[in-house]
Structures are given as structure tokens and as C-alpha cells.
């Protein structure tokens, strides 16, 4: 089990079977998700510097929890987002 003490950055790429992803982070850490097949994203963090979901054309739902320090949210052409 990895804890936030050891995890500094999370990068997901080319996991073509991922449709749903839930991320919970207690402090500011780097998160980069490059998964065009992603349909559901749940993200929980105390701070959110930037979230770019323009790369997820299939994203249908986005849940943000505790993200009170967001400076930028780019939804781009996510027409399927509800």
C-alpha cells in the first residue's frame, strides 16, 4: 500500500480499459491522467491547482470534492459531460 508520505506523483497513460477512476489526495500532489476512454472521474483533494479534462472526449460525469482552491478548470470540448 502506498501512502501519501511516499507518493509524490501519479501518472496514468495508455490504460485503455479504464472507464472509471476515483482519486483521493490529502495534500497537493502531482496527478496527470491521459486516458481518452475515461467516462467517470471522481476527484477529492484539499487543493486543485489545475484540472484539464479537455483530453477526455468520452467523459460523462465529473465529481469534485473538497477542491476549494481551484485556479483553472478546462472542460474543452467535453460535450458528453453532464
Q: Tens digits of per-residue pLDDT, 10-33? A: 677 777 788 888 887 766 666 777
* Cell, residue 20: 472509471
pLDDT of residue 64: 81
Number of other CB atoms surrounding residue 68 within 10 Å: 9
In whole angstroms, give the CA distance from residue 43 to residue 40. Answer: 10
Below-70 pLDDT ranges, the chain: 1-10, 26-30, 46-54, 67-79, 81-82
Q: Please, are residues 38 and 21 in contact by the beta-carbon 8 Å criterion? A: yes
* Cell, residue 21: 477512476
pLDDT of residue 56: 77
* Cell, residue 28: 497537493
Amino acid at each position: 500500500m502506498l501512502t501519501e508520505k511516499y507518493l509524490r506523483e501519479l501518472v496514468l497513460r495508455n490504460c485503455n480499459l479504464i472507464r472509471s477512476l476515483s482519486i483521493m489526495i490529502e495534500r497537493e500532489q502531482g496527478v496527470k491522467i491521459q486516458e481518452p476512454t475515461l467516462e467517470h472521474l471522481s476527484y477529492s483533494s484539499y487543493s486543485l491547482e489545475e484540472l484539464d479534462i479537455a483530453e477526455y472526449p468520452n467523459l460523462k460525469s465529473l465529481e469534485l470534492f473538497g477542491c476549494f482552491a481551484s485556479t483553472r478548470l478546462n472542460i474543452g470540448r467535453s460535450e458528453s459531460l453532464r
